[in-house]
Structure 1
């Protein structure tokens, strides 16, 4: 599989069959040995692709990870309403997010706004979860100290909801493990998949954010109560 993944155009059917056949071995390795993520990328490179994240998550959880979008969309309207409450007017990041959304309220931008505003809503600071940089910024410096998060490469770091991204990447253990993910919602879907598949704990600084995503959007575990409010 490692050799096949090095090809410009890997045989996806072969990779699918091989990943399915080695699932038990991979789970044993992850759970018992807890290898560094960098080592897992070398041994199981296919695992860090969108195609295999969907398949591996289904093997692990017996559900389609893309149900994330259905759960998110079902709560979009209420979430964005809550973000506009008076008590959040003093949170400049939330105000900027809502002002940017008002310029173009497409569904994809609503999704991005909901996910970016969620940490502020549950009283967490997303500065360690989502970082922005310009294309000319040295990436190594930006992701230094970033154990789990999403890196957004944009032309204007002050715009919370840019029209397009130069790159959207997932960072784990100070290394970019996936890139070219297109947008914020897709990055969150794949990040959740990796956290489950690699048996990683949620970051302490944004624990409630991930628990809301897990329980409210993905329907995994009991429905949680948010601090000081209810969805």
Structure 2
């Protein structure tokens, strides 16, 4: 029973948390004020984050609002006191080094990585570099992205393609062999498309990371290091984010 109560508390059971929506908002405001201090109490912030995220997830479960209608960017900013678009700023600061590492000899036998690099040789715009960095990172971290990013043609039954997909991105393209060009990009959670028409892969990752924080979801176990690296490089850019095998 103790273990069961612990699990209920972890997902925001109000009887065990002893808090309602009003107290949740009060805690959030106190946390924001604490974070603005020169020397914030990190232990207090950590405890507050755990409590508010758990209760926010319970609110979502109970009210069942359509995830596609949730204002992901605004909600992420409200919860984290951080602009979600810093994702791009942090990612861009690491693009050059990442792509250099992807071109190392040991990746020449990885066909997916080779295709990404060849695409950049044809069009090296910053947007395409972002896509290549995000799609190539799982291979660099020695993790298989097949469960994270799945491709299909517009005529393929989407429910069959996303079957078994817990967390991921669906890439719809007329040419499934084309690594960087898509007619639709969607986010999948628990075998359901929750947000679509995201336009491109970087935008899909921004929204996916925002949803993971908002819903207090764990990173996929088979892509744990990839997501940790994406989070570190995108929102914690600087000397602390040293890539394995790099000299950042």
What's the TM-score once normalised by structure 2's chain length?
A: 0.74
Alpha-carbon separation, structure 2, partners of 1:159 and 1:33:
39
Q: How many pairs are equivalent?
A: 206
CA-to-aligned-CA distance 1:34-66 (integer Å, 9 cap, x gap): 5597x57x6323x5347x111111111111000
Task: Report the RMSD for the aligned CA atoms in angstroms.
Answer: 3.0
Alpha-carbon separation, structure 2, partners of 1:196 and 1:202:
10
1:168 aligns with 2:185: yes
Alpha-carbon separation, structure 1, partners of 2:69 and 2:209:
13
1:48 aligns with 2:68: yes
Alpha-carbon separation, structure 2, partners of 1:120 and 1:209:
9
1:188 aligns to what SS in structure 2? helix
1:89 aligns with 2:108: yes
CA-to-aligned-CA distance 1:129-180 (integer Å, 9 cap, x gap): 0000000100000000000000000001111112xx2211000011000000
Question: For residue 16 of structure 2, what is the aligned residue in structure 1?
Answer: none
1:76 aligns with 2:74: no
2:124 aligns to what SS in structure 1? coil
Alpha-carbon separation, structure 1, partners of 2:79 and 2:118:
40
Question: For residue 3 of structure 1, what is the aligned residue in structure 2?
Answer: none
Q: Are the aligned partners of 1:101 and 1:161 in contact in 2 as well (CA < 8 Å)?
A: no
Question: For residue 193 of structure 1, what is the aligned residue in structure 2?
Answer: 210
Question: For residue 54 of structure 2, what is the aligned residue in structure 1?
Answer: 31
Change (3 A) 1:96 1:73: same
Q: Structure 1 residue 205: deviation in Å?
A: 1.0
Q: Structure 1 residue 33: deviation in Å?
A: 8.8
1:149 aligns to what SS in structure 2? strand
Q: Structure 1 residue 111: deviation in Å?
A: 0.5
Q: Structure 1 residue 229: deviation in Å?
A: 4.2
Question: For residue 152 of structure 2, what is the aligned residue in structure 1?
Answer: 133
CA-to-aligned-CA distance 1:95-136 (integer Å, 9 cap, x gap): 111111211111111110000001101111100000000001
Q: Which has the larger radius of gyration?
A: 2
What's the TM-score once normalised by structure 1's chain length?
A: 0.79
Alpha-carbon separation, structure 2, partners of 1:152 and 1:127:
12
Change (3 A) 1:70 1:225: closer
1:148 aligns with 2:167: yes
Gaps of 5+ in 1: 1-20
Change (3 A) 1:160 1:92: same
Change (3 A) 1:97 1:60: same
| Segments ≥4 residues shifted beyond 3 Å | 21-25, 27-30, 32-37, 47-50, 222-231
Alpha-carbon separation, structure 2, partners of 1:151 and 1:36:
27
CA-to-aligned-CA distance 1:187-231 (integer Å, 9 cap, x gap): 0000000000000000011111110111111118x9355444454
Q: Are the aligned partners of 2:24 and 2:55 in contact in 1 as well (CA < 8 Å)?
A: no
Question: For residue 17 of structure 2, what is the aligned residue in structure 1?
Answer: none
Q: Structure 1 residue 23: deviation in Å?
A: 7.6
